[in-house]
């Protein structure tokens, strides 16, 4: 079995699963867990875009 993911899709999948674990383990109530999980996921994906633009600007 071989899985081929692009850099972006790998980062999104990574962020998704890491956010689920962070949400569950770092907050107490279900509501807070969902909110923190979404917050972490947004930071992961947002970080990918920011890093992507920084690298694109450096390359120019």
Our CB check for other proteins shows the closer of 3 and 58 to be 3
In the complex, the residues that contact other proteins under the rule CB under 8 A are 1-5, 7, 10, 13-14, 17-18, 20-22, 24-25, 28-29
CB of 24 closer than 8 Å to CB of 33: yes
Our CB check for other proteins shows the closer of 4 and 57 to be 4
Cα separation of 37 and 6, whole Å? 23
Our CB check for other proteins shows the closer of 9 and 50 to be 9
CB atoms within 10 A of CB 19: 20
């Amino acid at each position: 079995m071989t899985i081929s993911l692009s850099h972006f899709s790998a980062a999104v999948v990574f962020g998704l699963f890491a956010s689920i674990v962070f949400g569950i383990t770092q907050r107490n109530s279900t509501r807070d867990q969902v909110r923190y999980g979404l917050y972490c996921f947004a930071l992961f994906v947002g970080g990918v875009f920011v890093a992507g633009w920084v690298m694109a600007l450096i390359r120019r």
